[in-house]
Amino acid sequence: MEKELELYDVTIVGGGPVGLFTAFYSGMREMKTKILEYLPFLGGKVSYFYPEKIIRDVGGIPAVTGDTFTEQLIEQATTFDPTIVLGKQVTTLQKLENGNFIVRTNDGEEHYSRTIILATGFGSLKTIKLDIPEATTYESGNLHYTVRNLEKFRGKKIVISGGGNSAIDWANELEPIAEEVTLIYRKETFSGIESNISKMKNSSVNVLTPYEVVILNGDGEIISDIVIENVKTKGQQTISSDHLIVNHGFAIDLGDIAGWGCDMADGTIKVDNTMQTSIPGIFAVGDIANYPNKLHLIAGGFNEGPIAVNSAKLHIAPSEELKALFSTNMESFQDKS
């Protein structure tokens, strides 16, 4: 059965920023590379949580929006044409007697690889949705779980449900451009960053606590108004809205990662200084990697990717020399510039 599957040198599980940069470096080292990503799009947490926010802590890039950063990462990652498979969650890894791996996804597909680099972040990202049956019908209309384009909200009446950092951030970002911003939170105290909470409270944002959204009125595609209920008194009121943004956080589905056999600590995978896990041939990079003094920063993951790729290359061909290949020295880039 395994002979029918195309053999890859490296299969990267996770297409977030670190997985993408790792794919680039893997291609540069002439490894046949595949990325498997659960979401229908690349970019991981950057695309999912903060596409419109400004990233300022990646060397050489003073300021860039999450979306632009992701576009550039994808452009770089696809330089050497890796195979990219979207919308599939890796469920099991199996090491074969010949040392290669079979990677299985949630739809039963199998992928065959000499080495594996786990770039899964803390797991598959799943938004916590509004707990109202009719909510799903409005997702293609004016119910949003993330903000992808601020301009869409200019001059509009916005209702935001949530009380964490994201909800407060969006209230502050939208307040200067929207006609009106109302923030509804089911608790009385907020859990976000204090300075952002103060900024919101001192602005024109209409803050309603302790309320929650209970009914969405509309035509099944566009919400026209929202019924909110005081969680203590049960008193209800109706507010009109052009857009409802729900920021109730997210659930991270680590899936079966814990069952893949790699030694773990605090929900992440332990690696040595070659980024190898406790299973030879499986490496981990980015947020999922656990080692002393690990920082959950994109810039840190950009160092781990090349280390893992070089280690994977050595795993495949132990006689290879361990070297840091410089892109500036590569002839293949002369044609691409």
Q: Which residues bind ligand FAD (CB under 6 A)?
A: 13-19, 36-39, 44-46, 49-50, 55, 57, 89-90, 119-121, 123-125, 255, 286-287, 296-299, 301
Region of residue 284 (left: phi > 0; alpha: psi -120 to 50; beta: else): beta
Least separation in angstroms between residue 146's CB and ligand FAD is: 11
User: Which residue lies nearer to ligand FAD by CB, 156 or 199?
Assistant: 199
Least separation in angstroms between residue 228's CB and ligand FAD is: 26
User: Which residue lies nearer to ligand FAD by CB, 89 or 113?
Assistant: 89
Token pair recorded at residue 309: 């790729």
User: Which residue lies nearer to ligand FAD by CB, 218 or 306?
Assistant: 306
Least separation in angstroms between residue 42's CB and ligand FAD is: 7
Token pair recorded at residue 110: 């199998």
User: Which residue lies nearer to ligand FAD by CB, 30 or 57?
Assistant: 57
Least separation in angstroms between residue 91's CB and ligand FAD is: 7
Would you say 34 and 54 are in contact if contact means Cβ atoms under 8 Å apart?
no
3-state helix/strand/coil string of the chain: CHHHCCEEEEEEECCCHHHHHHHHHHHHCCCCEEEEECCCCCCHHHHHHCCCCEECCECCECCEEHHHHHHHHHHHHHHHCCEEEECCCEEEEEECCCCCEEEEECCCCEEEEEEEEECCCCCEEEECCCCCHHHHHHCCCCEECCCCCHHHHCCCEEEEECCCHHHHHHHHHHCCCCCEEEEECCCCCCCCCHHHHHHHHCCCCEEECCEEEEEEEECCCCEEEEEEEECCCCCEEEEECCEEEECCCEEEECCCHHHHCCCEECCEEECCCCCECCCCCEEECHHHEECCCCCCCHHHHHHHHHHHHHHHHHHHCCCCCCCCCCHHHCHHHHHHC
User: Which residue lies nearer to ligand FAD by CB, 115 or 241?
Assistant: 115
CA 309/CA 307 separation, integer angstroms: 6
Would you say 228 and 241 are in contact if contact means Cβ atoms under 8 Å apart?
no
Token pair recorded at residue 19: 């997985």
Least separation in angstroms between residue 11's CB and ligand FAD is: 11
Least separation in angstroms between residue 153's CB and ligand FAD is: 19
Least separation in angstroms between residue 232's CB and ligand FAD is: 30
Least separation in angstroms between residue 66's CB and ligand FAD is: 8
User: Which residue lies nearer to ligand FAD by CB, 142 or 166?
Assistant: 166
User: Which residue lies nearer to ligand FAD by CB, 55 or 239?
Assistant: 55
User: Which residue lies nearer to ligand FAD by CB, 17 or 218?
Assistant: 17
Least separation in angstroms between residue 264's CB and ligand FAD is: 14
User: Which residue lies nearer to ligand FAD by CB, 228 or 246?
Assistant: 246
